[in-house]
Amino acid sequence: MMGLLLKTKAREEAEKHAEGSIAKIIEKQTAKLPSDMWLWAALGSIGVSLYFEVAGNEEKSRFVGQWVAPLLLFGIYNKIVKVGGSDRT
């Protein structure tokens, strides 16, 4: 009985904070991408940044090096979408 009450409250809370239609569409598409793709993209950008640094092009090196954190964050987002979906309902 208590478990059913907790599930009902959790569902009510989730419905109050439901995602919009655009977020659902984006999450449906991003969930199709393999999670390790984002890791490899981040590692690739580190390599390209290192190449530009060694080649003496510091401006390009810094630009490409700034891609690492967003790519890793996209990977985390991708994993969360796969595990939890856009809504808990």
Tell me how crowded residue 88 is: count the other CB atoms within 10 A of its CB.
12
Question: What CA–CA distances, in Å, run from 52 to 15, 19, 27, 72, 87?
Answer: 49, 41, 34, 21, 42
| Structural domains counted in the chain | 1
Confidence at residue 34, expressed as pLDDT on a 0 to 100 scale: 85
Residue 1 falls inside a structural domain: no
Residues 29-66 have pLDDT tens digits of 877 888 889 999 999 999 999 999 999 999 999 999 99
Residue 10 located in a structural domain: no
3, part of any domain: no
Residue 52, domain member (yes or no): yes
In the DSSP assignment, the letter for residue 55 is T
Look over the chain and give the mean of its residue pLDDT values, rounded to a whole number.
Answer: 82
Instruction: Give the domain range for residue 73.
Output: 19-84
- Average pLDDT rounded to a whole number, residues 6-14: 63
